[in-house]
């Protein structure tokens, strides 16, 4: 993060060279986005909770089984070793895989599904209100208003991309939501 910031500071202090304004803008834009991604990932680092889930969901049994099956056929007790490795793989898969949801609840990790479901529910309510005919105005006016809102969202997202304030992942998710809204107007 500091390295990207230092490079960006050095480039912006020098300014663009004559005739390379476009390259300068592209470079500074790319560095701002990378810096925003680095800041995002630094703030969203892997906590002890995430580390516990990651360690518990490892593939220890699969590696053991692959190693046992790679033994030469003339190794004494090879069949028993493969059977033991297979048993270890099954036990770790069933025990660790089966208890992974319990561990996730136990350490208190919450995913983004709740946020996504809430957003979808809100979007459905808004969509229902906008597409159903109402006494206070015609449907066409509401659709036009919704189109204008999508355009404003798209412009705000483009501004956010230019600033490099948000991570690429966040911007991609926002773009998918806006695209989903915009597809409803393709045949309207």
Please give the pLDDT value at position 77.
93
Torsion, CA 160, CA 164, CA 169, CA 171, rounded to 10: 10
Please give the pLDDT value at position 79.
93
CB atoms within 10 A of CB 21: 11
Please give the pLDDT value at position 76.
93
Return per-residue pLDDT of the chain as tens, 188 residues.
Answer: 788 889 889 988 988 888 888 888 888 888 888 888 777 777 766 677 888 887 888 767 778 888 899 999 999 999 999 999 999 888 888 888 888 888 888 888 766 555 566 666 666 666 666 566 555 566 777 777 777 788 788 878 877 777 667 777 888 888 888 888 888 765 44
- Measure the CA–CA gap between 165 and 32, rounded to whole angstroms: 8
């Amino acid at each position: 993060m500091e390295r990207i910031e230092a490079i960006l500071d050095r480039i912006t202090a020098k300014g663009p060279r004559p005739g390379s304004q476009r390259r300068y803008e592209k470079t500074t834009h790319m560095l701002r986005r990378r810096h925003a991604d680095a800041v995002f990932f630094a703030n969203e680092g892997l906590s002890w909770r995430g580390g516990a889930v990651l360690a518990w969901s490892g593939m220890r049994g699969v590696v053991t089984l692959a190693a046992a099956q790679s033994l030469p056929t003339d190794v004494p007790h090879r069949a028993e070793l493969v059977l033991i490795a297979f048993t270890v793989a099954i036990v770790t898969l069933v025990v660790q895989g089966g208890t992974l949801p319990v561990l996730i609840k136990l350490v208190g990790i919450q995913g983004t599904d709740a946020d996504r479901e809430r957003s979808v529910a809100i979007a459905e309510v808004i969509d229902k209100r906008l597409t159903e005919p109402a006494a206070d105005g015609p449907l066409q006016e509401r659709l036009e208003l919704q189109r204008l809102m999508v355009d404003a969202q798209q412009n705000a997202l483009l501004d956010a991309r230019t600033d490099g304030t948000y991570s690429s992942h966040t911007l991609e998710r926002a773009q998918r939501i806006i695209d989903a809204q915009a597809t409803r107007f393709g045949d309207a």
